[in-house]
Structure 1
Amino acid sequence: MTVAITTPTGNVGRHVLRLAVQAGIRPRVLLRHPSALPSEVRDRVDAVRVDQLDVDSVVAATTGVDALYWVDPPTSVPDPLDGYRKATESLAAAVRANGIRRVVFQSSQGAECRQGMGDIDGLAVTETALDELGIDVVHLRCGYFFTNLLFDLDSILEGTITTAMDPDRKLPWVAPEDIAAVAAARLLSSDWHGRHVQAVHGPEDLSFREVAALVGEVLDRSVTIRQVSDDDVREELAGFGMSPEQIVSIVDMTAGIRDGFVPENPRDFTTTTPTALAGWVRTRLKAVCEA
């Protein structure tokens, strides 16, 4: 079985890579810069330089692949949805050209809405295209990544977590390594067929207010919530030089989850993963804060 892994240095992909190697697989890894791979894994994988937005590049890189772990890559194009569409075109072309029979797609909660969820609408585009190919596919509808807290590191060090989300709305928070465990299990198994949706919710639903209290307790400092408006976010992102389309994709994503969204996939045994946020904060966030 030939297994291919995209974004093998990403928050989730690097753990998928490790699990595949530990399972005795020599995976083919697709990435822009093979030199970014850790030195200890370079002789255990077949690395291929790939631009996921380039159809020919992806088709050539996936020749002979049986199972593919696919993540739509982050792009700097002015319209994020255009980037998602280009990545999806590459993926669909590769599946058709190379007869890839199984794809594990890293999606997100909210993709089931198909429209009105900002950046997540791009993941819905990929889900829909994969469904039309008639292959074995699983969409991993992931919760809110623990690692998103690292984007707010400066604010946390000053004693606040900033969000445009309702601070008391509970969300599923999940560790990237737990997503990887589910992804690797699906990727390496040949016992499932057809279209599946697998939510990955982490161990518990938490509000931002609860997260702030937990982070403050572990870091032994006062951490409070600073709630900002959508207009505040728009102004800040415009100050970073983002395009109007990029700003809309971020603001609408938060608003879509915040304003009445009900997940298609309820929490159950299959969606609940073990890594608690407190442990992650203690081992990862605290180390970064103290560095």
Structure 2
Amino acid sequence: MQIGIIGSGAIGLLFAHYLGKHHEINVYTRRESGAQLLNERGMELTFNTESLTTSLKATAKPTYGEEVLFIAVKQYQLKPIVQKLKEMPRKTIIFLQNGIGHLEFFSELSKHELFVGIVEHGALKIDERTVCHTGVGVTKLAAVHGESYVHKVFENEDEYFLFKIENDFHELLMEKLIVNAAINPLTALLRCKNGALFKNKDYQLLMERIFKEVYCLFPFKKGEASLWNHVNSICKKTAENESSMLKDIKEGRPTEIDAIIGSLLEKAEKMKKAVPYLTFVYYAVKGLEQEN
């Protein structure tokens, strides 16, 4: 099967390696130089003590001709991609974004088969063609509408790269949102890896306060204790990871703070609920963005 992966960050390259074992992969990069490097030398994945090279195709031209597309870019990079996909024949499209900002695009892509996914692996991009698989997890997928091609994608799944189908895409996104909200802004502000949030009792207290504020905003199907255990589990699985928000702050890029925390503040305002910890991390990260 031909699969396109839009985005060559840590998650994009991680998917390219594992899906490339059984499918023809085309990675869409932002820069032509990155595409040329991947075409000439392939991508390299390091895992434990192994280093594995995967041959693939890459391009900076947004042709998006594949039957299945994984979108692995940041929320704020989605708009031109969506505009292009609106004009294209029916495809299977899987969104892998943090937050819930991409929900607004689903009505524009109603002719396509749409899925959302949350990735619970740890991955660290080393350079333009190298990614380190730092923590093994699972990718959970749920259909917004449609289901034909997605099952074929992981017919030959790898023991280190498992997929799980969930029934409720909204609940899946909320689960991802509460994890991102509890982990990402704090790591960006504290300049720490994910693992520090459960190793340091004071950091963990801050994470729990943020978690509780988010939990009170939505009617989660899972109980509070179960979800809190899930947040800590993800933190431990990705202990050696720097969150995408921390990397963005370090490298002077815009963050996804609006898609993750901004959406929660809007929800809290409508419900007339005070969320002081969420408010603080939102404006603190926005302040760091301005400094950059």
Q: Give TM-score scaled by structure 2 length.
A: 0.45
If asked which structure has higher relative contact order (CA below 8 Å, sep 6+), I would say 1
